[in-house]
Structure 1
Amino acid sequence: MPDLRTAGLALAAESARYAGLGWMRGTSGNLSVTLTRDPLRLAVTASGLDKGELTAADVVEVDGSGAALPGQPLAPSAEAGLHARIAAVAGAGAVVHLHMLAPVVAAERWPDGIELSDLEMLKGFGRAAHDDLVRVPVVANSQDMQVLGDAFEAGYDPATPALVVARHGVYVWGADLRQARWRAECLEWLLRFKTATPEG
């Protein structure tokens, strides 16, 4: 697993990529990488910074509850607690929280979960292109990460590496940042298709 400096370099590069796609506008969104499992430690992008301009130093090491370890000059994202919960429950090596429009629109139309099937791009999301009904869970937004974490865990399906937070954004995870990115890109395409087709 990476050290904090290596994680910071990778998180800065990924943040710039997502900002360029319009998925981390301004200071919105946050990314994390798991540093250690026992005890659980994550590197999380710092709060309040332009995600297109992060450096390797703009990350914070947090514990298994999402709280910053002592002595660090920056504050972690307010959503670090949910990153930690996903890492613990799903075993994720990286979590990306993005503000794509398609997942938020899809959650408005299907607040009980977004169903996808028979689309080739599902393979890039880690599922089968045919004969595989994928349901992406949707949870109500909250500023309390314990509440969001409980909602995530209640609907968690190990086969579906994503969670949509209504009127907020999407969390996608993977073994590392690259896999999380691939899954996020494919999910964005899938949900754009879902919301653009008349039958949904």
Structure 2
Amino acid sequence: MNVFEEGAVTDEVLARAGAQLAAESARFAARGWMPGTAGNLSVTVGRDPLRLAVTASGLDKGELASSDIVIVDADGAGVRGEGGSEQRPSAEAGLHARIAAVTGAGAVIHVHALAAVTAGHLWPAGVVLRDLEMLKGIGHSAHGETVTIPVVANGQDMTVLGDAFEALYVRPASGSNDVPALIVADHGIYAWGRDLRQARWHLELTEALLQIALARR
């Protein structure tokens, strides 16, 4: 379970969430995956009701402070009086919230990595992967299993994008695993996990797998 979900959403919890979000944002900005103000990250800080701490909109993702977070609800709307700053959340916070609600994720990362953007453009019906060792890192077999990274069409309505994601999402069942990533065609990629570290691993592994798929083309 994400440690942020275990108790009340205190100032200490929010400060810790903000520090982790700032550190991870700087990491991805340094890799060129969050140029300028692009991209956003979130951690789940409450489940009932759903609350996410999301990086604030319009700020350089390589220079965030721990206070540069906004608390949003299940629709991605900013919630006043529950901590966080008075800055605006990204419009994409709504998709973060939908992913957290559907998958139970403790953290969601959205970046503009080149391979993901390119792969989403080339394979709008999904990126099919097979017989690659790194598939084990996203919960699948390295051999003998076909895995599809889902792709949805880009748009500005997060409800529409969320509906498209949920229609494609494969819920974990006995003997199977979901894919912890979603490509928004011609835009970027979302990856998630139980916490920011696992979400980062899923993102890095998926981006590497997509680079291999493009090189094999």
Could you tell me the TM-score, scaled by structure 2's length? 0.89
1:37-116 counterparts in 2 under 5 A? 37-71=47-81, 72-116=85-129
Please give the root-mean-square deviation of Cα atoms over the aligned residues, in Å. Answer: 0.9
CA distance in 1, matches of 2:110, 2:212: 20
Give the conservation status (yes or no) of the 8 Å contact 2:80–2:86.
no
Structure 1 unaligned residues grouped into runs of 5+: none
How much identity, in percent, do the aligned residues show? 64
Q: Report the secondary structure of 1:186's partner residue.
A: helix
CA distance in 2, matches of 1:33, 1:115: 29
Secondary structure of the structure 1 residue equivalent to 2:79: coil
| 1:28 pairs with 2:38 | yes
Q: Deviations over 1:126-176 (max 9, x none)?
A: 221111211011100011101100100111123111110010000000000
Deviation larger for 65-74 or 50-59: 65-74
**Is the Cα–Cα contact under 8 Å of residues 33 and 43 in structure 1 kept in the other structure?**
yes
Structure 2: gaps (5+ residues): 5-12, 172-177
Q: Work out whether residues 105 and 195 of structure 2, in 8 Å CA contact, stay in contact via their aligned partners in 1.
A: yes
Tell me the SS of whatever aligns to 1:47: coil
Normalization by structure 1: what TM-score? 0.96
> Which region of structure 1 is more displaced relative to structure 2, 104-113 or 85-94?
104-113
Q: What amino acid does structure 2 have at the position aligned with 1:178?
A: R
Secondary structure (helix, strand or coil) at the match of 1:26 reads coil
CA distance in 1, matches of 2:133, 2:64: 34
Displaced runs of 4 or more, over 6 A? none
Name 2:138's counterpart in structure 1: 125
Is the CA contact 1:125–1:187 (under 8 Å) kept in the aligned structure 2? yes
Q: Is the 8 A contact 1:66 1:84 kept in 2?
A: yes
Q: Does residue 164 of structure 1 match 2:183?
A: yes
Q: Deviations over 1:4-35 (max 9, x none)?
A: 11100000000000001111010000000000
Q: Secondary structure at the match of 2:54?
A: strand
